[in-house]
Amino acid sequence: MCGIAGAISWDGRHRVEETTLRRMAARIAHRGPDGETITLLPPQPVAGRAQMGFAFRRLAVLDPDPRAMQPMRSPDGRYTIVFNGEIYNYRELQQRMPGREWRTTGDTEILLAALAAWGTDITLERLDGMFALAVWDAAEQTLLLARDRMGQKPLYFTTGDGDLAFASELGALKEWPHWDRAIDDESLAHYLRYGYVLAPRTIYRDVAQLAPGTRLIVRAGTASTAAHTLSQSSSKWFNLERDAPAELTARSPKETREVIESAVRSQLVSDVPLGVFLSGGIDSSIVALAARRANGVAGATKTFSIGFDDPRYDESSYAEAVAKHLGTEHQTFRVTPDIAADLPKLASVFGEPFGDSSALPTHWLSQQTRKHVTVALSGDGGDELFGGYDRYRALAAPIGLLKPLAAVGRKWEAGHPKSRRTRAGRLLASAGLSVTRRYDRYISLFGPELASELMHGRPTFDATMNFAPRLYTFGGPVEAALAFDRATYLPGDLLTKVDRCSMLHALEVRSPFMSPSVLAYANSLRKSQLFAGGPKRLLREAFAKELPAEVFKRKKMGFAVPIGDWFRGPLKSLLRDHVLAASSFARSRFDMSVVERLIEEHESERRDHAQRLYALLMLELWWAGESRDRRAGRE
């Protein structure tokens, strides 16, 4: 696990400078506190040849020996790799290449040898892991960029006239001077609608994310292509939806248990202390159970949770009950956060607006957990794979006859997001809408009408335009919603949140539900297998006998904080000072009468706009950092 960055110049007009690479590395130093390497190939520009530069920050998890430091070169000097992530099946790959002498005991050398021996396509398909990688082929003068199936590890890039730069985080790319930092309006609209910017886009017009499961091979003459065009024309080496089955396949509790336990076992490989995030919910409890079983000894598994004073958001007692049942070494953290100081830190590490307020507890949990271990397993992805969200069951509900109650629903949904009345209101308010529009309503931060009103009447981005084809492919709204979330919300929001918040503290977080075998298994499931007899039927049948009954009976709480209450109290001034400032981003782009209305309605408790206001505040905090960077660049 680490942070990577680099740049290539094809013709010498934009020479790759060591000082620039060092500044890029400094921006991602939090991702790798165990060492830094800067490499130029060749060290000095050579006429007619590209110059490739790498910056690497190491978090030593496998093989901490200095010989495993990156960038790593193949024995013949042809290939050079920088790689962020972990390959869990690297020992299996090693066995497929007998007769070699290995200099290290980690995964990087094996990954590099596999790419050289088998080529890109075969190697990527064989990998079980999370990764973002860059490989320079000195013979062919090509650069390979690739990202794991679900986008657990980030990779951003920007192209110019004869150059390309890439990095694990947007902050590092801000040290590469050869790009225009203009804002992408469509990305801004997507952010308002859903709270994040979906790959391949970023908030910047000239910077792209490599989409999950995508590879890109860059050659001389292609680097001048616009960033988004280049990303969209890159090839998908993995398609999550390609194996959608035509018929229902029987699934047993034993099969479910085996595929998940195998994934957890494979991700326990580590040369540093390892633990498990435990909320006491279904997914994290299953991961903790599987880890405890694989470790075999009571107390050998460490588990960690975070608690809050507000009982509506505190799951710590449930986590402690599961930990006691399993016999893990458990710690509950109760922090007194400095929210006003933490929010700018989060805005900086994301590098663009990110509107999911659960980043705050993820940040605090990671910060405290890192004091005890270097690696943590999480239950992220279980909801999107096994049908854990209320919106899936809402899509399955026959609510057409409730259309006359839609107006009542719109009044009820204005309340506190944790209340049953509010949840019922959301369901009723969507009665009479098409399946696609219902789904959009369930996942939207700002609905299309409110977002358009905010943006002076301009139409806004609609992510659900690709929902209808999934209805046809998967045969029903529930299956289509699961597939859509796995392709959008999971990588764009949840996995992005976990990566940035954990790596801000140099904590590696692994998600066993993202294992290729678990993904393939979940992709074959249908509504009856997910919901018959209650939510997450297969997980309940597979693990209920080995976990406390409360794990499967209690209402899902979600990993949240009382941000709405804070905006009426300790964060009231912070919100107003940024969003309503004379120089705010909002004043340059939005209808301020709408912004002021949202704040007033929320403070007076007439409506709960907590998540919308959080998104607007994080937009402003990102813009404040962006403005400082731009001023510093001119000085």
For the chain, what are the domain ranges?
2-236, 253-338+352-386+486-553, 390-473, 563-634
Residue-wise pLDDT for 530-570, tens only, equals 887 777 889 999 999 999 999 988 887 777 889 999 999 99
Mean pLDDT of the chain: 89
CA 188 to chain centre: 18
Instruction: Identify the helix (H) or strand (E) that includes residue 80.
Output: strand 79-87
**Averaged pLDDT, 279-292:** 96
Share of the chain above pLDDT 70, in %: 92
How far apart (Å, rounded) are the C-alpha atoms in residues 203 and 188?
A: 6
Given 2, 218, 501, 530, the catalytic residue: 2
Q: Is residue 2 flagged as an active site residue?
A: yes
Tokens standing for 32? 């790798």
How far apart (Å, rounded) are the C-alpha atoms in residues 614 and 342?
A: 13
Q: Identify the CATH homologous superfamily for domain 253-338+352-386+486-553.
A: HUPs (3.40.50.620)
Per-residue pLDDT band for 162 (boundaries 50, 70, 90) equals: confident
Amino acid at 265: R
**Averaged pLDDT, 466-493:** 86
Tokens standing for 53? 């530069």
Q: By 3-state DSSP, what share of the chain in percent is helix, strand and coil, each rounded to 5?
A: 45, 15, 40
Residue-wise pLDDT for 583-625, tens only, equals 999 999 999 999 999 999 999 999 999 999 999 999 999 999 9
Per-residue pLDDT band for 225 (boundaries 50, 70, 90) equals: very low
For the cut 60, the answer to whether the pLDDT of residue 241 exceeds it is yes
Q: Who has greater pLDDT, 115 or 315? A: 115
Taking Cα atoms as reference points, which of 214, 224, 111 lies closest to residue 159? 224
Collect all residues with Cβ–Cβ distance below 8 Å to 266 and sequence separation of at least 6: 88, 89, 128, 512, 515
Residue-wise pLDDT for 381-430, tens only, equals 999 999 999 889 888 887 776 766 667 667 777 677 667 777 776 777 77
pLDDT (0 to 100) of residue 491: 96
pLDDT (0 to 100) of residue 297: 64
pLDDT (0 to 100) of residue 227: 46
pLDDT (0 to 100) of residue 616: 98
The fold for domain 2-236 equals Glutamine Phosphoribosylpyrophosphate, subunit 1, domain 1 (3.60.20)
Least confident stretch, 3-12, 203-212, 271-280, 528-537: 528-537
**Averaged pLDDT, 148-156:** 97
SS (H, E, C) 129-198: EEEEEEEEECCCCEEEEEECCCCCCCCEEEECCCEEEEECCHHHHCCCCCCCCCECHHHHHHHHHHCCCC
Least confident stretch, 55-59, 80-84, 221-225, 553-557: 221-225
**Averaged pLDDT, 464-477:** 77
Question: Which neighbouring-strand residues pair with 137?
Answer: 79, 142
Per-residue pLDDT band for 244 (boundaries 50, 70, 90) equals: low
Per-residue pLDDT band for 226 (boundaries 50, 70, 90) equals: very low
Amino acid at 29: A
| DSSP character at residue 500 | H
The residue assigned the tokens 């940040």 is 363
**Averaged pLDDT, 371-386:** 96
Least confident stretch, 333-347, 359-373, 416-430, 493-507: 416-430
Instruction: Identify the helix (H) or strand (E) that includes residue 390.
Output: helix 390-396
Share of the chain above pLDDT 90, in %: 67
Residue-wise pLDDT for 25-49, tens only, equals 999 999 999 999 999 999 888 887 8
Residue-wise pLDDT for 499-517, tens only, equals 999 999 999 999 999 999 9
Q: Who has greater pLDDT, 130 or 478? A: 130
Least confident stretch, 44-58, 91-105, 133-147, 412-426: 412-426
Cβ proximity of 529 and 538 under 8 Å: yes
One-character DSSP codes across 401-419: GGGGGHHHHHHHTTS-TTS
Per-residue pLDDT band for 85 (boundaries 50, 70, 90) equals: very high
Per-residue pLDDT band for 633 (boundaries 50, 70, 90) equals: low
pLDDT (0 to 100) of residue 309: 83
| DSSP character at residue 31 | G
**Averaged pLDDT, 346-353:** 96
Per-residue pLDDT band for 321 (boundaries 50, 70, 90) equals: very high
How far apart (Å, rounded) are the C-alpha atoms in residues 62 and 271?
A: 5
pLDDT (0 to 100) of residue 463: 63
Per-residue pLDDT band for 459 (boundaries 50, 70, 90) equals: low
- Collapsing DSSP states into helix, strand and coil, what is residue 498? helix
Q: In what order do the strands lie in the sheet with 72-73?
A: 72-73, 79-87, 129-137, 142-147, 214-218, 235-236
**Averaged pLDDT, 474-494:** 91
Start-end of H helices in 182-332: 185-194, 227-233, 253-266, 282-295, 316-326
Collect all residues with Cβ–Cβ distance below 8 Å to 378 and sequence separation of at least 6: 276, 277, 284, 287, 498, 509, 510, 511
For the cut 50, the answer to whether the pLDDT of residue 24 exceeds it is yes
